[in-house]
Amino acid sequence: MSGTIHSRPAGPAYRLQGSTSRLLNLLCQLGEGTLVLRQEGLSLAKTCTFGLCVADGQGGWHLLRDAISGLETDLQRVHHVYLLPDPDDGIPMLATASPGGEIDLSIRLEGHQWKSRIIRSIAEDFHGIPVEAREGRCLRAGAWLDDWNHTSPATEGIRWEILAALDACRCLEVEVRSGMHRATAAFRPAFMDSEGAVLRIADATRKNVVFADAGAPGFRWTSLAPGHLKIRAEASRRAGRLAAPAA
């Protein structure tokens, strides 16, 4: 199983302006997409459809939740939104990153082409500003799913109790948090391999793919029931919490 989101440097991109909530709510009109959310030591790629992002007041009115894709977004976080072509095949992607930081969330719009009318209209309606080459390189749109800032040494293995739990797992739940987003997935593992302490897990259709550094200090796994396992990565203090109650 390939470890990449994309393998070549990012091409031209636009930084979009305007309402992020309005942009996210366009996703329900754009068909199936591949959501990739990364945090240190844990990455999720999930092919899914999208619904409306709604604020229900739980955790604050700045917190949007999409019940269909499982994506949550904290609009209080300072961020930029980008529209860029996939470096491999030019399929358009929407992505977010902190100012001067790397992409944490990307959504590949599977049913669309970069030069299509609807993609051009998104760039125009949201007053897209062409991204300079330096900013484009900083985004790291070509990063691998397991290309984190810190990874456990290649000589470090995976504890036997984790492997035993995964071997018996019939339902795997995954929770990934970046500073701005939270996403979840639940699926039956069909493929699993590892390199050092890094696990690679996917379902039979490969619509859900997870890469996890099982040797990282923040890696957590919980047995919810026989054959039902949950994995997550504890965020660093600097990353903060997604759904902190409003003051």
pLDDT (0 to 100) of residue 12: 76
Q: What residue ranges do the domains of the chain occupy?
A: 14-139, 160-239
> Taking the CB of residue 58, how many other CB atoms lie within 10 A of it?
10
Task: Sort strands 171-177 and 228-233 into parallel, antiparallel or unpaired.
Answer: parallel
Which two three-digit tokens encode residue 73? 């977004």
pLDDT (0 to 100) of residue 247: 27
Q: Which is it for the CA torsion 184, 185, 189, 192, positive or negative?
A: negative
Question: How much of the chain exceeds pLDDT 70, in percent?
Answer: 90
Q: Does domain 14-139 have CATH number 3.20.20.120?
A: no
Higher pLDDT: 240 or 218? It is 218
pLDDT (0 to 100) of residue 60: 81
How far apart (Å, rounded) are the C-alpha atoms in residues 170 and 201? 13
- Name the pTM for this structure: 0.88
> What does DSSP assign to residue 22?
H
pLDDT (0 to 100) of residue 157: 85
What's the farthest any 2 CA atoms get from each other in the chain?
Answer: 53
When pLDDT is cut at 50, 70 and 90, the band that residue 236 belongs to is: low
